[in-house]
């Protein structure tokens, strides 16, 4: 009577080991490929896309210009300057800036982004409200209605029809500034320059950076649309 052996032969063990080794090698190649892909994407974003969105719409002169409020955060870790041309005089733009805020005129950005993604239901005003035009230094500008986060900005400087500056403080010192500056042009248009000077960089701030750009781009376009409509009405 012949006895069947249940012990794997050396050839079988060798084949299994080789198969397992090939699978591990394949997974290792996949992981290395993914790692290289993400490194490539990060490099493209950091050195190409991020540089572009950090100066969206701004000229070289505007990026390098000294603007009202720069002195409040003299040595920031990051400076972002964005801008847009508006076919209106500063006096037709500034009232829209004065009434910004979650419980006032909103932020004039994308409703779908604010409501669905950020869960921050804002009502963006389409007219100037006289009752919201008395903004003063020290006032709070809330970002989301009836919510503590994100923390409200504190108005740090108001130059009528020229600049509205707001930011956050820690231990009595400004750690960031959100600068809305109006620059009249010879052709009658106005450049609205939005600059952010901040010491908050890396980690979480890098993750939300693209979203902040989308929101600020929508805001600049929203102010432009409203101010140009107001200027057109006043020309009639």
User: How confident is the model over 37-67, as pLDDT tens digits?
Assistant: 455 445 454 554 567 789 999 999 999 999 9
The alpha carbon of residue 93 and the mean position of all alpha carbons in its chain are separated, in whole angstroms, by: 21
Sheet holding 163-170, edge to edge: 78-86, 190-198, 173-184, 163-170, 153-159, 140-141
pLDDT cut 90: percent of the chain above it: 55
- For 58-235, the fitting CATH number among 1.10.3130.10, 3.30.530.20, 1.20.120.10, 1.10.10.10 is 3.30.530.20
d(CA 15, CA 21): 10
Q: How far apart are CA 110 and CA 117, in angstroms?
A: 10
pLDDT value of position 111: 73
More confident residue, 103 or 205: 103
Q: How far is CA 82 from CA 12, 57, 60, 197, in A?
A: 66, 6, 11, 12
Q: Where are the domains of the chain?
A: 21-53, 58-235
Nearest residue to 101 (alpha-carbon basis) of 37, 40, 167, 153: 153
Confidence of residue 230 (pLDDT cuts 50, 70, 90): confident
pTM: 0.78
pLDDT of residue 145: 75
Taking Cα atoms as reference points, which of 119, 180, 108, 166 lies closest to residue 144?
119
């Amino acid at each position: 009577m012949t006895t069947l052996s249940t012990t794997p032969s050396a050839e079988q063990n060798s084949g299994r080991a080789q198969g397992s080794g090939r699978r591990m090698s394949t997974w290792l190649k996949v992981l290395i490929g993914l790692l290289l892909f993400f490194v490539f994407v990060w490099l493209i974003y950091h050195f190409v896309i991020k540089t572009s969105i950090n100066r969206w719409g701004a000229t070289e002169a505007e990026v390098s210009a000294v603007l009202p409020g720069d002195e409040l955060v003299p040595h920031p870790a990051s400076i972002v300057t964005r801008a847009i041309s508006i076919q209106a005089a500063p006096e037709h733009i500034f009232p829209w800036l004065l009434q910004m805020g979650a419980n006032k005129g909103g932020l004039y950005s994308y409703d779908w982004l604010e409501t669905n993604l950020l869960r921050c239901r804002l009502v963006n005003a389409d007219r100037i409200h006289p009752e919201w035009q008395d903004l003063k230094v020290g006032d709070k500008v809330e970002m989301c209605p009836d919510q503590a986060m994100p923390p409200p900005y504190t108005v740090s400087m108001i130059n009528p029809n020229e600049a509205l500056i707001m930011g956050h403080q820690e231990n009595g010192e400004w750690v960031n500034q959100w600068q809305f500056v109006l620059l009249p042009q010879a052709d009658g248009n106005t450049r609205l320059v939005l600059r952010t000077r901040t010491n908050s960089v890396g980690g979480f701030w890098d993750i939300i950076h693209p979203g902040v750009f989308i929101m600020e781009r929508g805001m600049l376009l929203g102010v432009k649309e409203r101010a140009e409509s107001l200027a057109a009405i006043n020309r009639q």
